[in-house]
């Protein structure tokens, strides 16, 4: 049976071979583990807390490794308990040997997933929103996600909840005081004033949910489809944007017979580029299927890059491209990219060349050469600026699904409160809805939690955290 007071240990660095490996220990037996396994010629790591100490790592007289050790006496440690970190050479065999000896000699058990951070929360070293942000920091796949996680870690959400709780407590105090001292000659805030305060709280909740929803969509990654006629240079452009050869480039029409996708970090954002099959009429059943899939990818993308072969006399327009041109002004952005400016057809130098693809709204054109690289940096910057213009693009306010659930529950409780006031319900009944809102605010930061909720949150952490 797992006990909360067990001393735990785990590898805190990434598994596998590496330059170093760090074993973390937390619990009552930590000091004994450092004394017994970390041997020094001078003052021990216990005598020099929070100072890195050179040690021989031994089990009795058996040498395990030479390394470094640092001891953090509680409560001023990551977990709030006595903690230690032992730095070893990055061999899995050395790590396994030390963890085995700790278990056999001192009964120090392997940590569960997220158990160090769970103990930090339970010992008051961090609130639940901060604990959850630790996992987001580790799992971040882009600078955008990392910034959002760091904002949570710095306490942005915690401060917002503190303001909500303060406003709700004031509202509850006013409501209950009017009940308790109704026969006293006291002046209370009017119902209209309290209604305005509740409407202000509802607006704040709506703003938070909207910001979070937009940020979540950005965090999940943008989809950018490269479309155009065969041999327009889509695969060459994808390779240029990625910085390596992902797609096959050939002068043969229809080389890309199915869409090719690749994730990349562009600026601060995670982006999936989709190199679609060239859009053309064809009798080849395999190529037709590739074109059908490409059209589906185009519909799911937030941005379309339409590649135009500038070496041709005219721009080829087919049913699929016509559909995207008609949709772009309403639901998504389309940027026309004139490729092959190094071998440009004379007709492509005239504005009338583009008359067939102009539609209502803004017509945006960028000129490039995938062969020479001319203009690709301009396109790159334009894509990043478009991503920043998206809702949430510059506001990485990320919430967990659990947070959104409690904000929604707070919202519903406050809406019921307004309805009760409108119906003339007794203040004692109205105060219950304020209590519900307060309960959900406390649940976000973890001031009121249950074991099953904690189990779900920390089970998705890595073991050494």
Which residues are within 8 A (CB) of 423 and not within 5 positions of it... i.e. 6 or more apart?
Answer: none
Domain boundary among 94, 127, 160: 127
Over residues 55-101, the pLDDT tens digits come to 999 998 899 999 999 999 999 999 999 999 999 999 999 999 999 99
With respect to residue 455, please indicate whether it lies within any of the assigned structural domains: no
With respect to residue 44, please indicate whether it lies within any of the assigned structural domains: yes
Cis peptide before 109 (omega within 30 of 0): no
Mean pLDDT for 397-410 is 91
| Residue 436 to residues 45, 130, 268, 395, 428, Cα–Cα distance (Å) | 49, 23, 39, 29, 13
The DSSP bridge partners found for residue 63 are 58
Q: What's the pTM value of the predicted model, to 2 decimals?
A: 0.67
Tokens 């952005």, residue located: 333
189 with 316, same domain? no
DSSP string across 281-338: ----HHHHHHHHHHHHHHHH-SEEEEEEETTSSS----HHHHHHHHHHHHHSEEEEEE
With respect to residue 465, please indicate whether it lies within any of the assigned structural domains: no
Coil, strand or helix at 424: coil
Q: Which two tokens stand for residue 273?
A: 């580029």
* pLDDT in the model for residue 255: 42
Domain boundary among 74, 92, 127: 127
Most confident of 70-79, 142-151, 259-268: 70-79
Q: How many domains does the chain have?
A: 3
86 with 234, same domain? no
Which residues define the annotated binding site for GTP? 231-236, 250-256, 275-278
Q: Residue 93 belongs to a domain with what CATH number?
A: 3.30.1360.120
Which residues define the annotated binding site for Mg(2+)? 235, 256
Which residues define the annotated binding site for (6S)-5-formyl-5,6,7,8-tetrahydrofolate? 24, 85, 125, 465
For residue 177, pLDDT over 50 is answered with yes
235 with 379, same domain? yes
Q: Is 113 exposed, middle or buried (0-12, 13-18, 19+ CB in 10 A)?
A: middle
Higher-confidence residue of 205 and 362: namely 205
Q: Are 357 and 306 in contact (CB under 8 A)?
A: yes
Compute the mean pLDDT over every residue in the chain, rounded to the nearest whole number. Answer: 83
423 with 370, same domain? no
For residue 202, pLDDT over 50 is answered with yes
Domain boundary among 344, 369, 389: 389
With respect to residue 29, please indicate whether it lies within any of the assigned structural domains: yes
Rounded to an integer, what distance in angstroms lies between the CA atom of residue 172 and that of residue 163? 14
* pLDDT in the model for residue 249: 41
DSSP string across 335-364: EEEEE-GGG--GGGGSGGGGGGG--SS---
234 with 205, same domain? no
Over residues 7-26, the pLDDT tens digits come to 999 999 989 999 999 999 99
250 with 361, same domain? yes
Which residues define the annotated binding site for K(+)? 231, 250, 252, 255
Mean pLDDT for 341-369 is 85
Rounded to an integer, what distance in angstroms lies between the CA atom of residue 435 and that of residue 411? 13
With respect to residue 395, please indicate whether it lies within any of the assigned structural domains: no
374 with 233, same domain? yes
Q: Residue 326's pLDDT band (boundaries 50, 70, 90)?
A: low
Q: Taking the CA atoms of the chain, what radius of gyration do you get in angstroms? A: 30
30 with 114, same domain? yes
Q: Are 437 and 188 in contact (CB under 8 A)?
A: no
User: Domain limits at 361?
Assistant: 221-389
Q: Residue 199 belongs to a domain with what CATH number?
A: 1.20.120.430
Q: Is 124 left (phi over 0), alpha (psi -120 to 50) or beta?
A: left
With respect to residue 307, please indicate whether it lies within any of the assigned structural domains: yes
* pLDDT in the model for residue 416: 96
Rounded to an integer, what distance in angstroms lies between the CA atom of residue 134 and that of residue 25? 18
296 with 427, same domain? no
* pLDDT in the model for residue 439: 92
With respect to residue 394, please indicate whether it lies within any of the assigned structural domains: no
120 with 147, same domain? no
Which residues define the annotated binding site? 24, 85, 125, 231-236, 250-256, 275-278, 465
237 with 340, same domain? yes
Q: Residue 346 belongs to a domain with what CATH number?
A: 3.40.50.300
122 with 152, same domain? no
Which residues are within 8 A (CB) of 417 and not within 5 positions of it... i.e. 6 or more apart?
Answer: 198, 430, 433, 434, 437
With respect to residue 457, please indicate whether it lies within any of the assigned structural domains: no
């Amino acid at each position: 049976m797992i006990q909360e007071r067990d001393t735990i240990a785990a590898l805190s660095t990434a598994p596998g071979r590496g330059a170093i490996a760090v074993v973390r220990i937390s619990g009552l037996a930590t000091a004994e583990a450092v004394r017994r396994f970390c041997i020094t010629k001078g003052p021990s790591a216990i005598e020099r807390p929070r100072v890195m100490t050179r040690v021989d790592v031994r089990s009795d007289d058996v040498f395990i490794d030479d390394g470094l050790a640092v001891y953090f006496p509680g409560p001023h440690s990551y977990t709030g308990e006595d903690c230690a970190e032992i730095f070893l050479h990055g061999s899995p065999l050395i790590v396994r040997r030390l963890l085995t000896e700790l278990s056999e000699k001192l009964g120090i058990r392997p940590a569960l997933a997220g158990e160090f951070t769970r103990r930090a929360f339970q010992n008051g070293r961090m609130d639940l929103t901060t604990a959850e942000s630790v996992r987001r920091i580790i799992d971040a796949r882009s600078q955008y996600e990392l910034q959002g996680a760091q904002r949570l870690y710095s306490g942005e959400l915690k401060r917002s909840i503190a303001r909500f709780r303060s406003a709700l407590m004031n509202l509850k105090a006013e409501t209950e005081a009017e009940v308790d001292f109704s026969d006293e000659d006291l002046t209370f805030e009017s119902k209209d004033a309290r209604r305005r305060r509740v409407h202000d709280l509802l607006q704040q909740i709506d703003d938070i949910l909207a910001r979070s929803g937009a940020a979540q969509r950005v965090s999940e990654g943008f989809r950018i489809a490269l479309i155009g006629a065969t041999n327009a240079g889509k695969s060459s452009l994808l390779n240029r944007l990625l910085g390596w050869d992902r797609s096959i480039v050939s002068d043969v029409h229809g080389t890309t017979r199915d869409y090719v996708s690749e994730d990349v970090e562009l600026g601060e954002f995670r982006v999936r580029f989709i190199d679609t099959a060239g859009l053309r009429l064809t009798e080849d059943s395999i190529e037709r299927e590739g074109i059908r899939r490409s059209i589906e990818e185009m519909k799911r993308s937030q941005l379309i890059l339409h590649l135009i072969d500038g070496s041709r006399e005219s721009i080829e327009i087919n049913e699929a491209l016509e559909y995207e041109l008609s949709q772009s002004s309403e639901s998504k952005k389309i940027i026309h990219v004139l490729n092959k400016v190094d071998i440009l057809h004379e007709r492509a130098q005239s504005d009338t060349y583009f008359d067939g693809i102009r539609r209502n709204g803004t017509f945006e054109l960028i000129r490039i050469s995938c062969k020479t690289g001319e203009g690709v940096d301009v396109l790159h910057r334009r894509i990043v600026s478009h991503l920043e213009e998206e809702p949430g693009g510059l506001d990485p306010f990320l919430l967990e699904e659990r947070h959104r659930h409690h904000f929604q529950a707070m919202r519903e409780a406050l809406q019921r409160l307004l309805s009760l006031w409108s119906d003339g319900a007794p203040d004692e009944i109205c105060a219950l809805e304020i209590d519900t809102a307060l309960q959900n605010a406390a649940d976000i930061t973890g001031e009121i939690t249950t074991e099953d909720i904690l189990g779900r949150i920390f089970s998705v952490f890595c073991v050494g955290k």
